[in-house]
Amino acid sequence: MYVKSLTLRGFKSFASATTLRLEPGITCIVGPNGSGKSNVVDALAWVMGEQGAKSLRGGKMEDVIFAGTSGRPPLGRAEVSLTIDNSDGALPIDYAEVTITRTMFRSGGSEYAINGTGCRLLDVQELLSDSGIGREMHVIVGQGQLDTVLRATPEERRGFIEEAAGVLKHRKRKERALRKLESMEGNLTRLGDLTTEIRRQLGPLGRQAETARRAATIQAEARDARLRILADDLVQLTSALEQEIADERALVRRREAAQEALATAEEAVAGLEAERARLTPALTEVQDRWYALSSLVERLRALRDLAGERVRLLGAEEEELRAEEQGRGGASSRDPEQLRAQAEQVRAQETALLATVADLARALADAEEERSAAEAAHAEEQARLQRLARAVADRREGLARLAGQVAARRTRVEAGEGEVARLTEAAQAVLGRASRAEQDFAALESTVLDVEQGEEGLDEAHEQAEERRVSAEAEVRRLEEELRAAQGEQGAHRARVEALALSLRRTDGASALLAEGGQGHGVEGSLSGRLRVEAGREAAVAAALGWAAEALVVDGLDGARAALRWLRDQDQGRAGLLVGGSVVGGTGTGTGWPDLPGYAVWAADVVRVQAGDAALGGVVTGLLDRVALVGSDEEASRLVREFPGVTAVTDEGDVYGPGWVRGGSSAAPSLLELQSAHDEAQAGVATATARAERLTFELGAARTALEAAESEADATLEALHENDARMTAVAEQLAQLGQTMRGARSEHERTAAAIATAQQRLEAARTELEELQGRLVAAEEEPGQTAEPDTAERERLAEVAARARSAETEARLALRTSEERARALTGRAEGLEAAARNELAARQRAAARRARRAEDRRTAEAVATGAAYLLERVGELLGVATTGRDAARAEQARLDETTARARTRVSEVAAELRDVTDSVHADEIARAEQRLRIEALETRAVEELGVDAVTLVEEYGPHRPVPHVPGPDESPDDPDLPGPTPFVREVQDKRLRTAERRLAQLGRVNPLALEEYAALEERHSFLVEQVEDLRRSKADLLHIVKEVDERVERVFAEAFHDTAAQFERVFARLFPGGEGRITLTDPDNMLTTGIEVEARPPGKRIKRLSLLSGGERSLTAVALLVAIFKARPSPFYIMDEVEAALDDTNLGRLITLFEELRDSSQLIVITHQKRTMEIADALYGVSMRGDGVTTVVSQRVRDVTPSGVRARQAEPEEVAT
């Protein structure tokens, strides 16, 4: 396997498509500096997956695309294709030739392809890693990388060997497995939580499903009973119809008397209806007034409570502000005036110190002048002595040669003066262009100032509009949150009212009586609904009343007997009944009762009956005869002992009597407690409703304000965008003029630099000319001088110059010290002034906050006072409205009752009249009505039960026996089940009532519970299986990690031992007589151990790499890399000027290693060394044309050995471009 060709298109300096065709052996790439040789190395690294822009000598990855030159435009993409000969099958792919292509677009997109098929970067890296070419690119040894190898940490050196051994791929596999494990742990945790939650839900849902099964069985039994009762009704109606057809008769009686009675009754009804019509508007008005006043009372009460809470909160805030000011007034606060005074003192010190700095600066200037004068005198004396010395030497050399040098320097001076003049003219022309561009730029900048001034106003307007919008949004969010809270509170109270109403529904005999409406029984309602108990005393009063707490109130003993008889006949259970007025007296303490101690109170004193139930009060007093309420069991025991005839009841509901105690825990609250909680929840609903209505109104106003603020913000933003567009246009024009100015300036700078260089050369030539002329004159004027000049004066002047420099240094040090002190005083003064400003602002803000809180509190107190006054007045009006409403209702009820009796009389007379008038058709009408009833029964059977009349009679008629319906705990196949029984109407009626009562006792039934339970149970089983699958997968991943660790440890150990042996041999080759070896930092842990390199060149005792010379470090790095190459050879290696720092001897040793590597790998070498070029099998010359584009020329060097002597022949080859 070897690199067969490399094609570059638009990559860095390779603007045109360039193909380098390579062959096995050593290929050298040569060329001058900057021609693009290293770009070939960058292209190889880039196409093999390099991702670091810095590794490619760029700032960002787009820098690899040809950027253009003065003669060629930039390109939009870069593409490099690497073709590898895979005839030996080193790459795990079924192709003898593999081409890897990478394309980069200037938009940032990147594509990879293998043999023209798109792929991922990971596919390229894994394909190459199997052949020993890792993603770290250890096969590419670039410029400066040798020292990087030595400076690497032990763990980084380990990476070189791992990459060569192909271990990195296994490490990446382990990392992926560990990431999967981490994700799997999270999934297991979530699945565990979900399984636990579902398991928790299965219990309640299972109970619901069991209830649904029982309800289904009971419903089936109720449906069967209802069908049989309906079939019996249908059979009886049909029989009656047949009987009426068989027994038809005519009835004609007293028609005239009936007509007169009907007219009289209708006149009475008309009068009553007119009177009721007159009363209805007044009643409606009274009720509307009562509802309005009730709503107003609730709103005023809420407003009063809200204002009171506001007053309390503002008072607390004032206390907090006062405490905060007192805290600031302590040791931590400072007076602003004192801070200003301190700042002025520091400013005065600063002024004095600045004056000292000025004096020191003048002293430094004097010292610099003295030093300059002394150094000038010393330099002049030194030059004089040098001239004398040169004159003596020139005399010895001869005047003829000196005169020739003078003539040559004079010619050079004249040429330099001409060059300076030409460049000066060019600079003047460039300055003219720059000046014109600057004038245009200044004119355009005035326009920018106008646009910017307009933008400042727009910015301020937009910021203010945005602040108003943000403030409005915050207000809307606040009101929405408060409204949601109020609605949630309203919903919670309503839900509580509904739940308590459901709890108040009775499921015993009392509920049956209430459901019947007390018709014929005299039932007036429940006792709990007609009593009002002090808050907190409900449980105690319920315990004191006992069975009576859940009893019903009847109007007399006859009604009570009728109610009990009805319960027995209908099999509706039992009920407790209280007879109103059976005990004379009212609520309150009875006569002869003892005076209780302070910890007890009579139960009768905490109970009130509703208005109009004075008779019931006597009954309650009798039930609570000598019953006292106490707080604890100890008080109850003491009270019973002190007052033997008194019964004590605690707040928990425990009852203490003379010689007996009844109590303990209660499974459910009493009806009194439920009724009290129900009334309290209704009051909460009213309060929450009023608050929600107020917040809804405020929210509508806030949303209107928000829409206005958003419109204003959008308008100012649009104006800003328009101004930005104008700024952008002006900025583009300024950019063009700026580019023109910068170009002119750059050209002027280059011309100025050229002038400066020319002037420097001219001055140097003039200096040399003057020096040579002086030497010539001195040589001619002093023909006989041969002695050395005296140097005493020079030494004296040197001492004077040294003293002057020392004085200058001391003056400079003093000046810098004073300047630092002055800067410190400046910072301190500015800090004190800022602290004074901040303290003054804080006090002003605190005063403003106090004023606002006081004003808010006064407003809230006024609102609370007004609301309380209005509440009192409206309460009085509400009492008046209540009295008027009750009177109007009573009058309306009287009229309704009278009207009902009159209408009944009209109906009776009209019925009698119809009988007399329609005597001929009486039987037909009767038969038609009977048929209608039959049809109604048939329609009901179809609509309600889904059974037609024929099927209903055939399958459920009274002639069919009634089968036994299995219960939820019975099996239909049980032979011991009872058999069918004959139809009995009373039995079926009782059976239907029993089924309905059992359904009522079951409570609310979830009809979907069976399906939900089955679905939830199925999901639970599925999740349990998923958890087990995840645990098995986790075990498999742990096994994979263990296998990877074992393989990495084995492969690395083998690679390390082979590399260590090769390093010793290679180091001995490069350093004859030296010693080098590599060791493990942690031999006991082969998975994480690093690698240390020890090198001792011949004749030296050092082993530390940092103490080696540059050439020795380079050779040591080469030895380590070559050892890795030999231990784990790769198909090819790229060397970029690795021998640049080596001398001839070491270069020869390195070349020997290159020749050894040629036998197993392909070498691509970037070099400037001729000896390296001599061993190459092919040469590529790289050069750069004047347009900045790299071109390549190749020459193949073939071995010609006809006589056994190795010779080289250069054959030029063309490179596809």
- Predicted confidence band at 695 (pLDDT cuts at 50, 70, 90)? confident
Q: Could you tell me which of 1131, 1074, 1200 has the C-alpha nearest to residue 84?
A: 1131
More confident residue, 448 or 178: 178
Q: Do 1173 and 28 contact (CB within 8 A), yes or no?
A: yes
Question: Terminal CA-to-CA distance of the chain, rounded, Å?
Answer: 25
Q: Do 83 and 99 contact (CB within 8 A), yes or no?
A: yes
Q: Could you tell me which of 86, 90, 121 has the C-alpha nearest to residue 4?
A: 86
Q: Look over the chain and give the mean of its residue pLDDT values, rounded to a whole number.
A: 76
Q: Is 35 annotated as a binding residue?
A: yes
Burial of 568 (0-12, 13-18, 19+ CB in 10 A): exposed
- Predicted confidence band at 1205 (pLDDT cuts at 50, 70, 90)? very low
Cα gap 1053→1128, rounded to integer Å? 13
More confident residue, 110 or 311: 110
Lowest mean per-residue pLDDT among 110-119, 134-143, 423-432, 1058-1067: 134-143
- Predicted confidence band at 589 (pLDDT cuts at 50, 70, 90)? low
Q: Could you tell me which of 72, 124, 267, 260 has the C-alpha nearest to residue 916?
A: 260
Nearest 5°: the CA angle 1126, 1128, 1134 is 70
Residue 114 confidence (pLDDT) above 90: yes
Q: Do 405 and 712 contact (CB within 8 A), yes or no?
A: no
Residue 244 confidence (pLDDT) above 70: no
More confident residue, 45 or 792: 45
Which residues lie below 8 Å from residue 1158, measured CB to CB, with a gap of 6+?
25, 26, 1177
Query: Which three-class secondary structure string do you get for 219-268?
Result: HHHHHHHHHHHHHHHHHHHHHHHHHHHHCCCCCCCCHHHHHHHHHHHHHH
| Domain assignment of residue 1191, yes or no | yes
Lowest mean per-residue pLDDT among 287-291, 583-587, 964-968, 1105-1109: 583-587
Mean per-residue pLDDT for 308-319?
76
- Strand segments (E) across 655-767: 655-657, 660-662
Which residues lie below 8 Å from residue 489, measured CB to CB, with a gap of 6+?
684, 688, 691
| Domain assignment of residue 544, yes or no | yes
Mean per-residue pLDDT for 1025-1050?
81
Amino acid 84 reads I
Q: Is 39 annotated as a binding residue?
A: yes
pLDDT digits (tens, 9 = 90+) for 537-547: 777 777 777 76
Pairing mode, strands 1178-1184 and 26-30: parallel
State whether residue 985 is helix, strand or coil: helix
pLDDT digits (tens, 9 = 90+) for 942-960: 877 778 878 877 888 888 8
Residue 327 in tokens = 């805290």
Please report, rounded to a whole number, the percentage of residues in the chain having pLDDT higher than 90: 3
* pLDDT given for residue 99 in this prediction: 94
- Predicted confidence band at 255 (pLDDT cuts at 50, 70, 90)? low
Nearest 5°: the CA angle 750, 756, 761 is 130
Lowest mean per-residue pLDDT among 180-189, 508-517, 1167-1176: 508-517
* pLDDT given for residue 1101 in this prediction: 67
Residue 86 confidence (pLDDT) above 70: yes
Please report, rounded to a whole number, the percentage of residues in the chain having pLDDT higher than 70: 79
* pLDDT given for residue 1065 in this prediction: 87
Q: Do 565 and 516 contact (CB within 8 A), yes or no?
A: no
Lowest mean per-residue pLDDT among 500-509, 587-596, 612-621, 976-985: 500-509
Residue 1020 confidence (pLDDT) above 70: yes
Which residues lie below 8 Å from residue 410, measured CB to CB, with a gap of 6+?
769
Residue 474 confidence (pLDDT) above 90: no
* CA 984 from centre of chain: 72
| Domain assignment of residue 500, yes or no | no
Q: Do 922 and 252 contact (CB within 8 A), yes or no?
A: no
| Domain assignment of residue 595, yes or no | yes
* pLDDT given for residue 329 in this prediction: 55
* pLDDT given for residue 1203 in this prediction: 35
pLDDT digits (tens, 9 = 90+) for 366-389: 888 887 888 788 788 777 777 777
Cα gap 425→758, rounded to integer Å? 14
Residue 581 confidence (pLDDT) above 90: no
* pLDDT given for residue 788 in this prediction: 57
CATH number at residue 1178: 3.40.50.300
More confident residue, 285 or 47: 47
Helices and strands counted in the chain (H then E): 22, 25
Q: Is 37 annotated as a binding residue?
A: yes
Residue 461 in tokens = 């307007």
What backbone torsions phi and psi does residue 1101 show, to the nearest 5 degrees?
-105, 0
Lowest mean per-residue pLDDT among 65-79, 211-225, 471-485: 211-225
* pLDDT given for residue 98 in this prediction: 92
In angstroms and rounded to an integer, the radius of gyration of the C-alpha atoms of the chain is 57
Cα gap 777→399, rounded to integer Å? 10
More confident residue, 536 or 897: 897
Cα gap 517→860, rounded to integer Å? 51
Pairing mode, strands 1162-1166 and 1178-1184: unpaired
State whether residue 1032 is helix, strand or coil: helix
| Domain assignment of residue 96, yes or no | yes
What backbone torsions phi and psi does residue 1094 show, to the nearest 5 degrees?
-115, 130
Cα gap 1085→1077, rounded to integer Å? 20
Q: How many domains are there within the chain?
A: 2
pTM, entire model = 0.37
* pLDDT given for residue 1207 in this prediction: 40
Residue 1056 in tokens = 């390390």
Which residues lie below 8 Å from residue 316, measured CB to CB, with a gap of 6+?
none
- Predicted confidence band at 667 (pLDDT cuts at 50, 70, 90)? very low
State whether residue 664 is helix, strand or coil: coil
Residue 561 in tokens = 């007997």
Residue 251 in tokens = 């009835």
What backbone torsions phi and psi does residue 946 show, to the nearest 5 degrees?
70, 30
| Domain assignment of residue 189, yes or no | no
Q: Given 650, 683, 714, which residue is the final one in a domain?
A: 650
Which residues lie below 8 Å from residue 770, measured CB to CB, with a gap of 6+?
none
* pLDDT given for residue 479 in this prediction: 85
* pLDDT given for residue 100 in this prediction: 93
Residue 255 in tokens = 């028609």
Residue 1216 in tokens = 């596809």
Pairing mode, strands 110-114 and 117-119: antiparallel
* pLDDT given for residue 254 in this prediction: 63
pLDDT digits (tens, 9 = 90+) for 735-788: 677 677 777 777 777 777 778 887 777 788 778 777 777 777 776 665 555 555
Lowest mean per-residue pLDDT among 378-392, 692-706, 1135-1149, 1169-1183: 378-392
Cα gap 608→533, rounded to integer Å? 6
Amino acid 832 reads L
Q: Could you tell me which of 1103, 1102, 1108, 1098 has the C-alpha nearest to residue 1070?
A: 1098
Q: Which domain holds residue 600?
A: 537-650
Q: Could you tell me which of 504, 541, 501, 525 has the C-alpha nearest to residue 681?
A: 501
Cα gap 647→654, rounded to integer Å? 11
* pLDDT given for residue 111 in this prediction: 92
Helix or strand (DSSP H, E) at 26: strand 26-30
Cα gap 1203→561, rounded to integer Å? 145
* pLDDT given for residue 103 in this prediction: 94
* CA 509 from centre of chain: 59
Q: Do 250 and 920 contact (CB within 8 A), yes or no?
A: yes
What backbone torsions phi and psi does residue 977 show, to the nearest 5 degrees?
-65, 145
| Domain assignment of residue 591, yes or no | yes
Amino acid 1108 reads L
Mean per-residue pLDDT for 876-895?
82
What backbone torsions phi and psi does residue 348 show, to the nearest 5 degrees?
-65, -45
Residue 253 confidence (pLDDT) above 70: no
Q: Could you tell me which of 949, 839, 413, 497 has the C-alpha nearest to residue 682?
A: 497
Q: Given 602, 635, 650, which residue is the final one in a domain?
A: 650
Residue 487 in tokens = 């609605």
Cα gap 30→1166, rounded to integer Å? 6
Residue 502 confidence (pLDDT) above 70: no
Q: Is 38 annotated as a binding residue?
A: yes
Q: Do 340 and 833 contact (CB within 8 A), yes or no?
A: yes
DSSP code string of 1056-1111:
HHHHHHHHHHHHHHHSTT-EEEEEES-TT-TTT--EEEEEE-TT-----GGGS-HH
Mean per-residue pLDDT for 878-903?
81
* pLDDT given for residue 82 in this prediction: 92
* pLDDT given for residue 732 in this prediction: 66
Instruction: Give CA separation, 408 vs 398, 401, 402, 415, 422, in Å.
Output: 17, 11, 10, 11, 22
Q: Do 779 and 391 contact (CB within 8 A), yes or no?
A: yes
pLDDT digits (tens, 9 = 90+) for 174-210: 777 778 777 777 777 887 888 888 778 777 877 877 7
For 276-280, which contacts have Cβ atoms below 8 Å and span 24 or more sequence positions?
Answer: 276/892, 276/895, 276/896, 276/899, 279/888, 279/891, 279/892, 279/895, 280/892
* pLDDT given for residue 68 in this prediction: 85
Q: Do 758 and 423 contact (CB within 8 A), yes or no?
A: yes
Residue 564 confidence (pLDDT) above 60: yes
Q: Given 609, 630, 650, which residue is the final one in a domain?
A: 650
Residue 1123 in tokens = 């050892």
Cα gap 977→454, rounded to integer Å? 99
| Domain assignment of residue 83, yes or no | yes
For 418-423, which contacts have Cβ atoms below 8 Å and span 24 or more sequence positions?
Answer: 419/758, 419/762, 420/755, 420/758, 420/759, 420/762, 423/751, 423/754, 423/755, 423/758
